[in-house]
Structure 1
C-alpha cells in the first residue's frame, strides 16, 4: 500500500493509501465520522462509515481529540467539493498520540493577541498554513530566478560594525566590549561581492529597531538584495519587473489550493506582467496635491499616499527619482539633476505599499567621500566600503525586496505578522 501526502493525493485516485498526520476537526452523525485530517502538506476529509469498518476502528475515532496524531488507511475518492478535490473512505485508524483535552485554538473566533501568543499552534490552521506554504513557494521562486540568471548567493554578516541606512533604527549589541549592531541590510556586503562575482544576491534576516505598530512593519524580517556590476538604473528596474512577474507566475501555477483557501482574487495577480508603469517622485507629489493631500516636495510618502498613487494603476508602479536628501548616502544622484537620485520604490497594488527599494549606486570615489562627509558618517568604519571605489570601481545597481510584504500582498493578508512563522514586533518576542 502506498504511503503519500495530501498534496500528492491526486496521483492515487481509486487506490488505497496510508496517510500520517493529525486530526484538525471531527464531526459525527452516529453512523459516520467525518475526520478533517491534515499532514502538513494540506487538508482532506476522511469518511469513516460504521458499517464498513471494524467496531474497534469506529470506537477509536470516538476517542480522537482535536490535534491527536494518527495514521489512516483508506481509499482515495474524487470529491469536487473539497479544496483538494478528493476525500478518503477510511478503512483503518491508528492513533499515535491522543492530544490532551482543551486544545487552545478551537474553531471559534479568537483575538489576534491570543492567536499570536499561540503562534506555535495557530500555524496549524488552514489559512495560516496556506500563507506559510505560499511563502515557501515565493522563497523557492526567488532563488530559482536568480540561479537561472547566473547570480551567486552571498550570505552577508548579521553582526555589523556600522549602520547602512540610519543610526536611529539599529539594535545595538555588546560585541566583546565593542559596540556592534544587528544588520539593517546586507547591501554593502553584497556590493563587495558583486565586484568579485559580477551578479550576486543575499537572502537573509534583517533588523530594524523602529518603534512602529503599523500592519506593514516587523522588527525582524527577511530581505532579498541583489547587486549587479555594470548594470545601470534602467537595467535595475528591468530585473525587478522580471522577478516580480516570475514570482507571481510560480505562485499562480503551484499554489492554487492555498490561494483558494485564502479566497484570494487571482484575477488581480494575473494582470501582473512587465513592464510596470512609472511615475517620478515630483509628478507623484503633484498627483497627491491635485487629489487634496497637503504634501510638499521633499516629504516622505506614508501609507495613504502610496495607496492613493497605487490606485491609479492595476499593476505595481515604480516611483522614481526621489529627492537625494531623503535617501541613503550610497545612492547615485541623477547627472541631469543632482537634487534627485537614480532610484525607485516599487509600490504594490491594493494598498500593500512599498515592496522594493533600489537604486544605481555611487561608483565615483570622490562623490562617495563627499556624501560620507556630508552625512557625518565615521569614515574609518566605511574604509572597506570605500576600497570598492578605489580598486576597479564600475557602475552598479541593486535593490531590496521585503519578503514578508511580498507574501502579504500576494496572499491578500491584512497584517504582515501573519506572513512570517514567528513575528517579532514592538511588543512581541514570544513565542
Structure 2
C-alpha cells in the first residue's frame, strides 16, 4: 500500500510503501539511518543489516543525498523523535540517483542558498516555513468565510496608483500607460459597495529600492473592505483575524514550529483585544526611549516600530497618524482635522508593521478636496469618485502583508525565507 509520511500514523505495525527523497543518511556499522522526505513531512527509515538482504543494506549505505526512491517497510512508533514514527525498511527501489547535490549538510552562505532557492526549499526549515505560510493562507479563507466576506480579485495591471507613490513598476498596455498593482484597495472599495464585505488575496508590487529584512519587491496582501463599518469595528475585525491565524498555526503546525524552535509562549499571547496608542502617545514613548530627534509629523521607521513594540508583549495598534503622511483616501478624525482615522498594527519581537488600515473618506466634496491637495488630476480616478456619488456609505478596510506575518509567526529573521521564490532588489533568479 502506497502512503504519504503525514498519514503513517494510520498504519502502525503495517507494511507500506512511501515515495520519497533521501534528505540525509548516516550509518552505524550494521544499521543505516535514512532521513526521508516526501513533501508532506520528514521521517526516519531504519535499515538493519540482519533483517534485509545484503544487496538492500549495501544499497541503503550507498544512497546519495536527494536521490528519489520507493521505500517499503513496517511503520512503528518512535518516542525518541518529534515526529513519533519511523519505518523499519525492508526494500528499496531506486528511482533516480542524484549526484553532487550542491546543498550539503554543512553551512552555506545566504547568497549561495538564494542562488539555489529551487533546491533550498527542500530543507527541513524551509519546508516548515512554507507549511506555516500555507496554514496562514488556509486560516485566512476560513476566517473571512465565517465572517461572511466574499473573495474578490482586483486587477494586477492598473492605470493608477493606490497611494500616489512614484515607486511603481511601469509597463505599456497597448497604447496606454499601466502599472503593476501596489494595492487592490481602491477596487476593493468598489466591490464592497456591491457586496458589503469583501476581501482580496493576491500579489502586489513595490519598486522600492530597499534592502531591509522586512521588504520584498513582490509580495502578497490580504485586503478586506467593509461597507457600513466604522474604524473601531474594523480594528476589532483585524485583531480577531490575527488571533485566528495565530491559533490556527499553533493548532495545526506544532511540528513545524518545533522544527523552527519557535517560542510558543509568545504566540500564545496573541489574544484580542490588542493594546492601542495614538500617534501622539507613540511620539512621547519614543522620546522617553531616547529617540529625542523624532518630531510630530514624521513617519516611523523600523527602529521606531521596534522600540514601540518592546513595551508590549502582543501586537500593538498605533492610531490617528497625521493626515499629511497618510494616503489621500483616509478619513479625517471628526474631532481633529490634522489626523486621520487609521491604524498600523505593529507585531512584537521587532517584526514591524503587519497591517495598515483606515476608515475611508465617504464624503464626495471632501474627497474632491483631497484630490486637489494631492494633485490627482485627470480621469484616472473618476470611477473612484463615483463610488461617493452613487450611494456612499461609511466604510473601512485594511491590508495585511502575508510575508511579514509569516516571518513573525515563524520567528524567522528575513522575509526572503517566507515566500517560495523571493523577488529582491538585486534578485530575479531563480
TM-score (norm 2): 0.99
Moved more, 77-86 or 273-282: 77-86
> Following TM superposition, by how much is the alpha carbon of 1:162 offset from its aligned partner in structure 2, in angstroms?
0.8
> Following TM superposition, by how much is the alpha carbon of 1:424 offset from its aligned partner in structure 2, in angstroms?
0.2
The separation in 1 between residues aligned to 2:84 and 2:331, in whole angstroms, is 53
Secondary structure in 1 matching 2:39 = coil
Moved more, 26-35 or 334-343: 26-35
The residue aligned with 2:185 is: 187
The residue aligned with 1:417 is: 416
From 92, 110, 113, the equivalent of 2:111 is: 113
The residue aligned with 1:221 is: 219
The separation in 1 between residues aligned to 2:326 and 2:10, in whole angstroms, is 53
The residue aligned with 2:135 is: 137
The residue aligned with 2:148 is: 150
8 Å contact kept, 1:358–1:399: yes
Moved more, 16-25 or 215-224: 16-25
Gaps of 5+ in 2: none
For residues 67-108 of structure 1, the C-alpha deviation after alignment (integer angstroms, 9 at most, x for no partner) is: 000111111111122121111111111111111x21110000
> Following TM superposition, by how much is the alpha carbon of 1:11 offset from its aligned partner in structure 2, in angstroms?
1.8
* Number of aligned residues: 429
The separation in 1 between residues aligned to 2:310 and 2:11, in whole angstroms, is 45
The separation in 2 between residues aligned to 1:5 and 1:103, in whole angstroms, is 24
Structural mapping, 1:265-304, within 5 Å: 265-293=263-291, 294-304=293-303
The separation in 2 between residues aligned to 1:132 and 1:358, in whole angstroms, is 26
From 121, 125, 128, the equivalent of 1:127 is: 125
For residues 110-168 of structure 1, the C-alpha deviation after alignment (integer angstroms, 9 at most, x for no partner) is: 00001000000000000001000100000000011001111100000000001111332
From 192, 196, 199, the equivalent of 1:198 is: 196
The separation in 2 between residues aligned to 1:166 and 1:213, in whole angstroms, is 22
The residue aligned with 2:255 is: 257
8 Å contact kept, 1:372–1:379: no
The residue aligned with 1:384 is: 383
The separation in 1 between residues aligned to 2:102 and 2:164, in whole angstroms, is 42
> Following TM superposition, by how much is the alpha carbon of 1:14 offset from its aligned partner in structure 2, in angstroms?
1.9
Moved more, 412-421 or 284-293: 284-293
The separation in 2 between residues aligned to 1:246 and 1:7, in whole angstroms, is 24
The residue aligned with 2:323 is: 324
Secondary structure in 1 matching 2:166 = helix
Secondary structure in 2 matching 1:252 = helix
In the alignment, does 2:26 pair up with 1:48? no
For residues 269-317 of structure 1, the C-alpha deviation after alignment (integer angstroms, 9 at most, x for no partner) is: 0011000000000010011112210200011111111111101111100
Task: Please identify runs of 4+ aligned residues in structure 1 that moved more than 2 A.
Answer: none
8 Å contact kept, 1:272–1:315: yes
The residue aligned with 1:70 is: 69
8 Å contact kept, 1:168–1:210: no
> Following TM superposition, by how much is the alpha carbon of 1:246 offset from its aligned partner in structure 2, in angstroms?
0.4
Secondary structure in 1 matching 2:380 = helix
The separation in 1 between residues aligned to 2:410 and 2:420, in whole angstroms, is 15
The residue aligned with 2:162 is: 164
Secondary structure in 1 matching 2:399 = strand
Moved more, 161-170 or 199-208: 161-170
> Following TM superposition, by how much is the alpha carbon of 1:32 offset from its aligned partner in structure 2, in angstroms?
1.2
> Following TM superposition, by how much is the alpha carbon of 1:177 offset from its aligned partner in structure 2, in angstroms?
2.8
The residue aligned with 1:37 is: 36
The residue aligned with 2:14 is: 15
